[in-house]
Amino acid sequence: MTPSHVINLTAAWEPAGDRTAGWIRRFGGPSGVTAAHRLWLAIEDADPRVTAILNDRPLPQASVHADDAAGDGRRPTLRWEITGIVASRNTLIIGAPGVLARKPSAGVAGDAFIGDGRTRRTLPAAIAARVLLEIDADVDRDASLDTRR
């Protein structure tokens, strides 16, 4: 799948309440999206144990495509179709058991996990390289709309 537009959500993550809860990213819904578009959440080079909650809805086990898990040493890209879940304002929480449960390394302030809006940072590489909102024009939906004329 080659999306028609990609929004990078990799920066501006906040630690959720404590180290074990995950990471929070708030974002606005994309503009110009119609019934002919499909929206996907893609987490590249991801820990395969990553779980995601979008707008208080836990997402099911992510689909992993064989070509996404090429033998180049990178972890797979996880994808969820989120077309009916994205709103005008969104909250995405992601986490990976065993990765987020670790204590912070030396030098990390204890208040770095408050989630107070002042601790925004890039998502830790141990979880994923990039988090993307992919927007794709659905050819099948476009075709079905054309036949209704």
Burial of 94 (0-12, 13-18, 19+ CB in 10 A): buried
Predicted pLDDT at 7: 93
Q: Which two tokens stand for residue 36?
A: 């002919």
Q: Which CATH number fits domain 5-146: 2.60.120, 3.90.550, 3.40.50, 2.30.30?
A: 2.60.120
Predicted pLDDT at 96: 65
CA distance 55 to 29: 12
Q: Average pLDDT for residues 101-108, to the nearest whole number? A: 38
Q: Which two tokens stand for residue 127?
A: 């979880």
Q: Which residue has the higher pLDDT, 76 or 88?
A: 88
Q: Average pLDDT for residues 51-76, to the nearest whole number? A: 76
pLDDT in tens, 113-128: 444 556 788 888 878 8
Coil/strand/helix, residue 26: strand
Return mean pLDDT, the chain. 74
Q: Average pLDDT for residues 68-92, to the nearest whole number? A: 84
Nearest to 26 by CA among 127, 117, 97, 128: 117
Query: Which sign does the torsion angle of CA 53, 59, 61, 64 carry?
Result: negative
